[in-house]
Amino acid sequence: MGFREAAEYHLNRAIKFLNLNEDTAMALLEPRKSLEVTFSVRMDDGRVRQFKGYRVQHTDVLGPAKGGIRFHPNVDMDEVKALATLMSIKCCVIGLPYGGGKGGVTVNTKELSESELERVSRGFIRAIAPIISTDKDVPAPDMYTNSKVMAWMVDEYSVIKQVNEFGVITGKPLSIGGSAGRNAATARGGFFVTRAACQKEGIDLKKAKVIVHGFGNVGGHAARIFAEEGSKVIGIADSKTAIYDPNGIDIKAALELKAKTGSLKSYTQGQKLTPQELLECECDILVPASLEAVITEENAAQIKAKMIAELANGPVTPEADEILNQKKVILVPDILANAGGVTVSYFEWVQNRMGYYWTAEEIDEKLEKLMCKAYEDIYNFKQEKNCPDYRLAAFAIATNRLVQAMKDRGWVS
Ligand code: NAD
């Protein structure tokens, strides 16, 4: 099952568990607004190229749509719709006053010069400007977009509107209204919910052996935070190299090496494995933080972790979910575990609207409160409703919140 099918599968499972009627199911499965655009960009060689772009607002029942913009050759309307739907669920898991949104441009950024990238970013925002605003739809970075791209986009939007509207986009540089704590937010949020889950499930985090698969923004910060908080990080991996050391890895040294050389290849301690082999090593907590579908029906039976905290999006396929459930592996699902990023994006938006900015410590404290409350709600729901797993409980809680708002507004009966 691919990523899109998996998203629909999980939502359908919640719809069935909650026994929702057909009209309500349709209101949940079909995005409210989808915009497809074609825009022209002059390239460095003088040629004018046409680009396809998309922006989908899954729902605005709770507030503005919120979700990233990705630049990738595989972007199409179906993918953007599935991702927008998942964003609604993720925002509702945390209780943010947002619906889900997503956008994208079908483009390979590796083929663009810096100035072409800027013109694509500005061109896309001009094309979708009629349907976004601080109160309607608030984009953010996603695959192959970053704070620099967000800065061009917010600048272009402000030129169109003839007023600075920093709250229309999050993930901006600090100089123009970005939030403190955003870079590590996904990893830190993931740590908070994993710690909460360990407390309930009887795992001593201070004695826990942790493996982190993926050593980029999320995985690098996650390995550092788990180590700082007293866990023993015994495995890390980037796309080419995995390091396994039961005595514990020096994460600071590994981060420095990765920053300097771009790889983990020349790390000298421990044992070298393939990234795939590392997933199957014995540990207490496995943190997939690389790509989707790294744990499938092929390797799920070999996983020896007691707990999996999904910091990547969709790292465990639905087929693998079933195998892991039978093995009683505790799985903290992505829509909860990696929601720290969108939560700090929400804080950025709030700060932009207030024109008053919080410190990194204040951000972390607020993040901790929301993440821990979300975990607690999901745990209680799972116990009270006899729900078989955390993923279903998270989808069901979020779906309930969406449906309640839709009912209150008279959108469904
Ligand atoms: P990134 O590009 O910074 O890092 C990805 C890491 O994965 C790199 O270290 C890369 O070497 C490694 N990797 C790639 N292929 C691999 C493989 N086959 N085996 C092992 N490692 C491999 O990306 P990121 O921002 O850290 O995102 C990682 C995951 O987290 C993605 O699934 C992303 O969608 C998800 N996520 C990110 C954020 C965020 O705030 N950045 C928020 C929510 C979810």
The model's confidence at residue 164, banded by pLDDT at 50, 70 and 90, is very high
Instruction: Name the closest-CA residue to atom 32, ligand 1.
Output: 312
pLDDT recorded at residue 4? 82
Quickly count: other Cβ atoms within 10 Å of residue 298's Cβ.
11
Strand extents, DSSP E, 316-404? 330-332
Mean pLDDT of the chain: 97
Q: What spacing in Å lies between the alpha carbon of 314 and ligand 1's midpoint?
A: 11
DSSP state, residue 203:
-
pLDDT recorded at residue 1? 82
Residue 91, pLDDT > 90, answer yes
Interior/surface letters 92-116, b for 16+ CB within 10 angstroms, e for the rest = bbbbbebbbbbbbbbbebeebeeeb
Residue 282, pLDDT > 90, answer yes
The model's confidence at residue 2, banded by pLDDT at 50, 70 and 90, is confident
> What is the average per-residue pLDDT within 253-281?
96
Q: What's the pLDDT tens digit per position in 220-244?
A: 999 999 999 999 999 999 999 999 9
Q: What spacing in Å lies between the alpha carbon of 165 and ligand 1's midpoint?
A: 30
3-class state of residue 127 by DSSP: helix
Instruction: Name the closest-CA residue to atom 28, ligand 1.
Output: 290
Residue 210, pLDDT > 90, answer yes
Residue 286: phi, psi to the nearest 5?
A: -105, 130
Fold of the 31-169 domain: Rossmann fold (3.40.50)
pLDDT recorded at residue 400? 97
Q: What spacing in Å lies between the alpha carbon of 238 and ligand 1's midpoint?
A: 9
Q: What spacing in Å lies between the alpha carbon of 145 and ligand 1's midpoint?
A: 13
Q: What's the pLDDT tens digit per position in 321-366?
A: 999 999 999 999 999 999 999 999 999 999 999 999 999 999 999 9
All structural domains of the chain with their residue ranges: 31-169, 185-337
Residue 384, pLDDT > 90, answer yes
DSSP state, residue 179:
P
Residue 3, pLDDT > 90, answer no
* CATH architecture of the domain with residue range 185-337: 3-Layer(aba) Sandwich (3.40)
CA distance 229 to 223: 10
State if pTM tops 0.85. Answer: yes
Q: What's the pLDDT tens digit per position in 92-109?
A: 999 999 999 999 999 999
For residue 368, give every residue at least 6 positions away whose Cβ sits within 8 Å of its Cβ, in sequence order, or none.
Answer: 192
Q: Would the CATH topology of 31-169 be identical to that of 185-337? A: yes
Write the single-letter amino acid at 32.
R
3-class state of residue 190 by DSSP: helix
> What is the average per-residue pLDDT within 33-44?
98
CA-to-CA separations, 93 to 74, 87, 331, 382, in angstroms, rounded: 28, 10, 16, 13
pLDDT recorded at residue 267? 95
Residue 48, pLDDT > 90, answer yes
DSSP state, residue 53:
E
Instruction: Name the closest-CA residue to atom 16, ligand 1.
Output: 239
CA-to-CA separations, 356 to 136, 154, 163, 345, in angstroms, rounded: 21, 19, 18, 15
Residue 300, pLDDT > 90, answer yes
Residue 205, pLDDT > 90, answer yes
Instruction: Name the closest-CA residue to atom 13, ligand 1.
Output: 239
3-class state of residue 287 by DSSP: strand
Q: Which of 284, 212, 224 is nearest to 256 (CA)?
A: 224
**Which atom of ligand 1 is the closest one to the Cα of 219?**
26
Calculate what percentage of the chain has a pLDDT beyond 90: 99
Mutating to test ligand 1, I would choose from 215, 278, 290 the residue with most ligand atoms within 8 A of its C-beta, which is 290
Residue 171 backbone class (left: φ over 0; alpha: ψ -120 to 50; beta: rest): left
Which ranges constitute the DSSP H helices of 202-315?
A: 217-228, 251-261, 275-279
* Sheet with 137-141, side-by-side order of all strands: 33-42, 48-57, 99-106, 65-72, 137-141
> Which residues lie with the beta carbon below 6 Å from any ligand 1 atom?
186, 213-219, 237-239, 275, 289-291, 311-313, 338, 341
> What is the average per-residue pLDDT within 79-94?
96
pLDDT recorded at residue 405? 98
